[in-house]
Chains A and B, each alone.
With several copies, the nearest count.
Chain A
């Protein structure tokens, strides 16, 4: 009986936590067999860098989704914040102090944009889907307006270093992605806030009865994702040394959400892991990479990608149940 119990316990922990990892492993093996270029260090680092932008946003999105919400505005928000970052950079001359200002302004702006979402959702009691659908349009439109539908461009030589550089051979965005992932994981698992996020997502009535300020917790998850958006915008804008108002970060929301969910977080809220989101983002990155590497008909790439997203989640479910 106890052995049975133990076994069933191990089994449960196993697939709830490592399901996404399992899906990743399968994909990795298939990819390695399918393309000789895949396991080159350089290619793997490329993949990691490519996923870090949406991955970082995904970290914040994990909190939002666990708390029972959703944020569709992150892509537009990235473009807006990134654009204003470049304006700030140009305004302050492009030196080290300018970059610090960019960081400050960006994070304040990201937090502010997230806070706006959060306030309407909590105070106005409007569904997150609809609020962020609205602000998605608003943020993108403001970006277009400020830049006259053109590009934000910097002339700084220093700024691109940030997004292009590497430390110990590993690109800066990847470092930041992983460091933030660890930080977010700690927040989710080892702080009151993290626990409240889960409680609110699981049952907000119970959370209220337990004296948790549900609205404040929800609000903070949107602020958090806003801050993550700012970091992503910083890395993105410094990588390209520019932000295109119409094109930058389009569909980031879909990739970020897909990463979270492939990572095993339930859309219905209440549970999920940051670790899973990282895996989810990498899975998406590998799929994109393989589609290019294998030279699949460009028109069919969407089919493959769609099937992989569904498949990755299906694999986990099957494993969890058995």
Chain B
């Protein structure tokens, strides 16, 4: 039987969403090669309102399943609810909805990312020292990560968070903020950039300052370039924490498999699990190789 699947994701407005776009296309291409009966409609939105419109457009096309990475939770909930109520199979990826109106939820672990990052940094610092933080775009996801990070750090009174400012998940913003931090603080032991795009800018600023005091840097999300640095045994970039954009591919696969009535390999249940949380995995020199995807754009 023919299967029609709509995929709605945000536009590529920074490295990670660029990765989402790339993985969505990759998964679509691979499924189409495997099964000519599956048709995909991919739409991208630069704002929640545009995404609502995108979903409406997909409904006109008569889809059987919707895979959605919501721009924001609340604004997308009403329209997804409508989709759900029409009996369309809904897979929600990454950003949850405010009501249980999805069949499958696939996500990375935002608080986990903050927690794993904090634990690793604290340990590397030997539980004392001063750090600066570069946040993402002010939004829920960012808050989840930063709050979890701060929560962990509260346990270690000898670690001081000197400053925390938004770098908008942008390399250039990261560069500028770091330049300012380097002016403002004479001694910094470690930097949490939360995102690998930002980390690149941070590293650049550090390099140009010719300072030698910072012990290490931690980014996040696992871009291939940073993973490569970890893999190659970089002295200052010794780890990364995943928040894999490939999750959109997983979401797409879940939709296809569900509609085809397949079950997950190794699962004894007949249905696809309703919640899949991908762990925030710590990448270090030991395991980096298995995370490296040279063809990916992120």
A binding-site residues for B, Cβ under 8 Å: 37, 40, 42-43, 46, 49-50, 53, 144, 147-151, 153, 160, 164, 236, 239-251, 288-289, 292-293, 295, 298-299, 301
Q: Which residues of A contact B197 (CB under 8 A)?
A: 244, 247
Besides A43-B183, A244-B71, A247-B197, 10 more A-B contacts (Cβ < 8 Å) are A148-B22, A149-B18, A149-B22, A149-B138, A244-B75, A247-B14, A248-B49, A250-B47, A288-B176, A292-B58
Residue B250 at the chain A interface, CB threshold 8 Å: no
CB pairs A–B below 8 angstroms (25 shown): A37-B60, A37-B183, A40-B183, A46-B56, A148-B143, A148-B297, A150-B143, A164-B204, A239-B78, A240-B48, A240-B200, A242-B72, A242-B75, A242-B200, A244-B14, A244-B75, A244-B139, A244-B197, A251-B47, A293-B184, A295-B42, A298-B43, A298-B44, A298-B138, A299-B21
Interface residues in B, total, Cβ within 8 A: 67
Known A239-B52, A247-B170: A289·B47 in contact at CB below 8 Å: no
Inter-chain contact B172/A46, CB cutoff 8 Å: no
Q: Which residues of A contact B140 (CB under 8 A)?
A: 149-151
Residue B194 at the chain A interface, CB threshold 8 Å: no
Residue of A nearest to B186 (CB): A37
Q: Which residues of A contact B274 (CB under 8 A)?
A: none
Q: Which residues of B contact A289 (CB under 8 A)?
A: 53, 57, 180
| B interface SS class | helix
CA distance A298 to B248 in the complex (A): 16
Inter-chain contact B54/A248, CB cutoff 8 Å: no
CA distance A148 to B15 in the complex (A): 11
Interface residues in B99-126 (C-beta closer than 8 Å to A):
none
Q: Which residues of A contact B214 (CB under 8 A)?
A: none
Inter-chain contact A241/B78, CB cutoff 8 Å: yes
B binding-site residues for A, Cβ under 8 Å: 11-15, 17-18, 21-22, 41-44, 46-50, 52-54, 56-61, 71-78, 98, 135, 137-140, 142-143, 163, 165-166, 169-172, 175-177, 179-181, 183-184, 197, 200-201, 204, 207-208, 225, 297-298
Known A149-B21, A151-B297, A240-B52: A295·B139 in contact at CB below 8 Å: no
CA distance A299 to B17 in the complex (A): 12
Q: Which residues of B contact A40 (CB under 8 A)?
A: 60, 183
Q: Which residues of B contact A288 (CB under 8 A)?
A: 50, 53, 176
Inter-chain contact B297/A160, CB cutoff 8 Å: no
Known A148-B297, A251-B47, A298-B44: A246·B137 in contact at CB below 8 Å: yes
CB distance from A83 to the nearest CB of B (A): 12
Looking at B42, B137, B208, the one whose CB has the most chain A CB atoms below 10 A away is: B208
Looking at B46, B59, B179, B225, the one whose CB has the most chain A CB atoms below 10 A away is: B179
CB distance from B199 to the nearest CB of A (A): 12
Known A42-B183, A298-B138: A150·B77 in contact at CB below 8 Å: no
Taking a contact as CB atoms closer than 8 A, the residue among B13, B78, B163, B171 that contacts A164 in the complex is B78
Inter-chain contact A248/B47, CB cutoff 8 Å: yes
